Amino acid sequence: MLAKAMSLFLLGLVRLLTGAQARWYGCPPKAEQRIYFANHQSHADLVMIWAALPQELRSITRPIAARDYWTTSRLREWITTRVFNAIYIDRARTGEQDPLEPLVQALASGDSIILFPEGTRGHAEEPQPFKAGLYNLALRFPQVVLVPAWIDNVQRVMPKGEVVPVPILCSVTFGAPVALAPGEDRHAFLRRARDAVIALRNV
């Protein structure tokens, strides 16, 4: 009950501050297993995409969250665990641990996920080169639909050094699905996936 109340509160707050407009180009908001992959410029990106999805998709979609950031306080950890049902990844992993294992488990159980293929936040106009994770997941789960997304303006909601969020109209544009072509190598696919995200910037 508390998690549901917090979910409604956060949804209302995010939409008040950002508008959280979802724009669907090339694919409808359909309840099928998907990997949404997007540009990454703010810790708020996770919340922004979550808020932009309709409720029936939010309930089956799990965002990826960096453990070292989202578990630094009990409130953050509770929100990401109980409200967002996030999948934690360890950016400071050691040894032979597979960083994709939590994502593989989620996809194998039928969940959709929200992924930021850059791996870390960027500060340039365009996304950094995509890391191999998206390719490896596409190869392993060919039945999962890959949907590119462009998050616009969210980095201006909480400018660097500011404590109070600034109301700014933001949007998430979802594009046509991208599929791994037969025999396509990793570098070609990742360039094409990145280009699909960038192409949504001016839609």
- Cα distance between residue 166 and residue 159, in whole Å: 8
- Cα distance between residue 167 and residue 54, in whole Å: 21
Decide if domain 1-62+94-199 falls under CATH 3.40.1130.10.
Answer: yes
- Cα distance between residue 198 and residue 146, in whole Å: 15
Residue 172 burial (10 A CB sphere; 0-12, 13-18, 19+): buried
Per DSSP bridges, beta strands 112-115 and 145-152 are unpaired
Lowest mean pLDDT among 7-16, 67-76, 139-148: 7-16
Lowest mean pLDDT among 52-61, 87-96, 111-120: 87-96
Q: Is the pTM of this model over 0.95?
A: no
Which sequence spans correspond to the domains of the chain? Answer: 1-62+94-199
Given a cut of 70, whether residue 17 has pLDDT beyond it is no
26-41: per-residue pLDDT in tens? Answer: 899 999 999 999 998 7
- Structure confidence at residue 159 (pLDDT): 47
Given a cut of 80, whether residue 117 has pLDDT beyond it is yes
